[in-house]
Amino acid sequence: MDLSVIVPTFNEGPNVAELVRRTTAALRGRAVEIVFVDDSTDDTPDIIRTVAATADVPVRLIHRDDPVGGLGGAVVEGFRAAASDRCVVMDGDLQHPPEIIADLLERAEMGDADVVVASRYIAGGTSDGLANAVRTTVSRASTLLTKAMFPKKLHNCSDPMTGFFLVDLRALDLESLRPRGFKILLEILARKQLRVAEVPFAFAPRFAGESKASLSQGMRFLTQLTMLRFGRMSAFAVVGGIGALANLAIMWALTEFGMEYLWAAVVASVITIIGNFLLLEYLVFADMRAESGQMWHRFAKSFAFNGIEAIVRIPVIGILVERAHLPSVLAAALTLVAAFVVRFVFHALVVYAPKKSRAARIAAVVEPLEDELAA
């Protein structure tokens, strides 16, 4: 068996026949199976059985009467039942074009990747199938935050939020996976350092049915993210908290000695920027220093960013004091809280990002040019 295609479904009956038809056509000549792991409450299981009876490839149904772990749990159950070590995971709504599966398999057969991700965010990919600008913005922001939380493990993955990917089960420890929702790729990549490759795809509109995206799914994603990355972000928060308290204490002391509050905020910011960097260097990102260049380069980037952030933040303090009539220390505290997430994202993705080799830098320039020439 060359490939097992795992399709988790929930009330996706109208899409089943078309998905099987297009998948079969895309993989003609390959030994493949399609495994539906179904949590539906409608007639989707009956439709799958009907389609399976006349399909040109083996189509199997695993119906879960008592679903555990949501979509991620369904995918893991599909992994356990798969006849092939190579498994493609895709949604059942045809927003993941089955024709791309052949590209995923061809890239996997090169042998240098454990996971091949179908990405919306590399050259040749698009996210046009997202319902509206709000969902597009949420998707982009979630991707950015996720990559910031796992800067090493997701360094070579532009789209860790996708549900369309191929994985070699021999590289996974299925027992270590703790699926909590619909972002199973994130769960896989965050648990273990894996070799990742990508192919582009265009995220398509739904073929039929309604989107399952909801506020509750968003909350599950945030819970999953927090549980996976509680360590580094909590340490960053502690350092940020220490820096914020030191900033406020220095500012209060200087104003008590008669310094004007804006100048006191400037002095306090410079001192705490330096102190915070040293704490981040030796506590929060200690495991990433060796791969992220020289210390003075990291300090320059950190100091420049925090300096710009302070230049923006300090006038906001003035506005809150002069127009909102807040106490100066309270105004400073509010701006420090607002800056926390932005600081974390920048340090994780820029300051401590693994330094690219010379070959990788050349490839980053040449590959887009090759794509343009090919087009």
Locate tokens 């599909």: which residue? 78
Strand 59-63 relative to strand 115-119, pairing = unpaired
Is the CB of residue 170 less than 8 Å from the CB of residue 85?
yes
pLDDT at 330: 87
pLDDT at 286: 74
pLDDT at 72: 86
pLDDT at 144: 83
pLDDT at 86: 97
80-106: buried (b, 16+ CB within 10 Å) or exposed (e) per residue?
Answer: eebebbbbbbbbbbbbbbbebbbbbbe
Q: What is the dihedral of CA 116, 120, 122, 124, to 10 degrees?
A: 100
**What is the 8-class DSSP label of residue 84?**
S
Taken in order of first residue, the domains within the chain and their CATH numbers are 3-213 (3.90.550.10), 229-358 (no CATH)
pLDDT at 355: 72
pLDDT at 350: 85
pLDDT digits (tens, 9 = 90+) for 58-80: 999 999 988 877 788 899 999 99
pLDDT at 262: 83
List alpha helices for the chain, DSSP H.
Answer: 13-26, 44-54, 70-81, 101-108, 133-149, 184-191, 215-256, 261-279, 295-322, 328-346, 358-374
Regions of the chain short of the pLDDT cut 50: 212, 365
Find the angle CA(256)-CA(258)-CA(261) to the nearest 5 degrees: 80
pLDDT digits (tens, 9 = 90+) for 274-294: 988 888 888 777 767 777 888
